[in-house]
Amino acid sequence: MSEIYDIGYRHYEGPRLGRAHAVRALITQNLRSIFGLGRRARSKLMPFLLAASMLLLPVVSIAMMAMLGRNDIGYTNYPVIMQAVIAIFLASQSPTITAPDLRFKVLPLYLSRPVSTLDYVAAKVVAMATALFALVALPLTVMYAGELLVDPPGPPHTKEYVAGLVTALLLALLLSTFGLALASFTPRRGLGVASVIAVYLLASAVSTVLFATFESMGRADVAQWAWLVNPFFLVDSVQSWLFGTTPANGYTYPAGVFSALLLAALLGLSLTAFILRYRKAASR
């Protein structure tokens, strides 16, 4: 069989591209994993279902705008409203790009090529952040396009839309590093999903309980700090500090500088943990 088609071994004389090309290929591959492209239909179900449900709110908003002439679209509080869906997306898809690597020990295949562990890790963060950004930014863009088309009374909310995009980027960076770092501690996908969602639920619950407790003690000044335990409100507080938007929690946040510092610290911490985890895996 082989003899018929065998035209002998041919050497490759074409161009050899550098590290940037390799990193781009890694990012693409990770994005394909996140959305289940090139894999079974079952792998595509979750990410696309969640992405579609993110579009529900913009569609309803546009309809309200068109039929009732109302113009109160939530560009800035959209991530907070949709936080459960975003958290589920993060939990279900983060382990798809960390667990198989670690479980099936594929690192030697990459590290024996001209990419470093850092390139490899950076590509994962960029891919996950891109996916999360798209998840939030696409519905916002649909909403904005709808607003421009329907043209309800009053000026268009361009400033709010831009604020929404910047917030989406910050949120994507924080969640992706945090989710990936957490998911990478186990080579088992199911455990990774469970740990990310558990941490989100815990943070959300602790935040609410702390707020309620301090509020009932009449310590509103302390209670406002409780919001920052939930990453979605943390990013929202940074947004309201940067763009002067109304807080999505309906209350007030502590001074924005602290939120921004906390956000930066969390980002740095997660990123460091993620890199160290892969350094350890690479050395084996």
Confirm or reject binding of residue 42 to another protein (CB under 8 A): no
Query: DSSP H helical segments within the chain, as ranges?
Result: 2-5, 19-34, 41-54, 56-68, 78-81, 83-103, 107-111, 117-150, 158-183, 189-216, 220-226, 231-243, 256-283
**In angstroms, what is the minimal distance from the CB of 222 to another protein?**
49
Rounded Cα distance, 175 and 132, in Å: 8
**In angstroms, what is the minimal distance from the CB of 204 to another protein?**
32
Tokens 């009449």, residue?
A: 218
The one segment of 20-28, 149-157, 217-225, 238-246 that binds another protein by CB under 8 A: 20-28
Measure the CA angle with vertex 107, ends 103 and 113; round to 5°. 160
Token reading at 140: 């916002």
Confirm or reject binding of residue 35 to another protein (CB under 8 A): no
Confirm or reject binding of residue 3 to another protein (CB under 8 A): no
**In angstroms, what is the minimal distance from the CB of 6 to another protein?**
8
Confirm or reject binding of residue 250 to another protein (CB under 8 A): no
The one segment of 38-46, 65-73, 86-94, 216-224 that binds another protein by CB under 8 A: 38-46
- Binding residue for another protein (CB under 8 A) from 59, 104, 151, 213? 104
Confirm or reject binding of residue 45 to another protein (CB under 8 A): no
- Binding residue for another protein (CB under 8 A) from 105, 219, 279, 280? 105
Contacts of residue 170, defined as CB under 8 A and 6 or more positions apart, other chains included, come to: 235, 238, 239, 263
Confirm or reject binding of residue 43 to another protein (CB under 8 A): yes
The one segment of 10-18, 47-55, 153-161, 248-256 that binds another protein by CB under 8 A: 10-18
Rounded Cα distance, 237 and 260, in Å: 8
Token reading at 215: 């509020």
Confirm or reject binding of residue 19 to another protein (CB under 8 A): yes
Rounded Cα distance, 186 and 230, in Å: 23
